[in-house]
Amino acid sequence: MAQVMAVGTAPDRAMAPAVANEFAATGTYERKSNAMREIVIDGVVYVPKVETEKDYVMVRTQNAGVFAGRLVLKEGSEVELSDARRIWKWVGAASLSELAVRGTSNPEGCMFPVEVPKITLLQVIEIIPMTPAARKSIKEVPVWTRHTIA
């Protein structure tokens, strides 16, 4: 069953004829959607940004190593990640491919430093989409640090 997501007072000129007909007949129109909430302001439809698990990737670079994070931007061989962790040493997976699909079976043996809010990576040679299970596994690995925690 479709939900009513927004009620407008005037349809956008580019909208479908059915919307224009509904507006002509009733003076209002309803936008229906099963997927997400949206709002119409002055004929412009606004929807919230929904971050999906498919945005979470593992990136291998030529010289800087491997990182896991949310893909923000890719231009050529340059990638920007947010909420990223360096995958300094991993165990509990035979390869990065397995780590991206299944995660680690031994989080205590891994060495992943603190998550950074943003990082730009150069010379990217591999980008692997991560599954929700793998992402959860990466997030649960304890932060590896050389700082003394008081």
**What is the rounded CA–CA span in Å between residue 121 and residue 136?**
23
What is the per-residue pLDDT for 108?
A: 94
**What is the rounded CA–CA span in Å between residue 124 and residue 117?**
19
Domains and CATH numbers, the chain: 3-46 (no CATH), 53-140 (2.30.30.100)
User: Does the pLDDT of residue 30 top 60, yes or no?
Assistant: no
DSSP 8-state secondary structure symbol assigned to residue 137: H
Helices (H), 4-150: 17-26, 96-102, 132-140
Q: How confident is the model at residue 50 (pLDDT cuts 50, 70, 90)?
A: low
Q: Report the candidate in 33, 29, 24 with the shortest Cα–Cα distance to residue 43.
A: 29
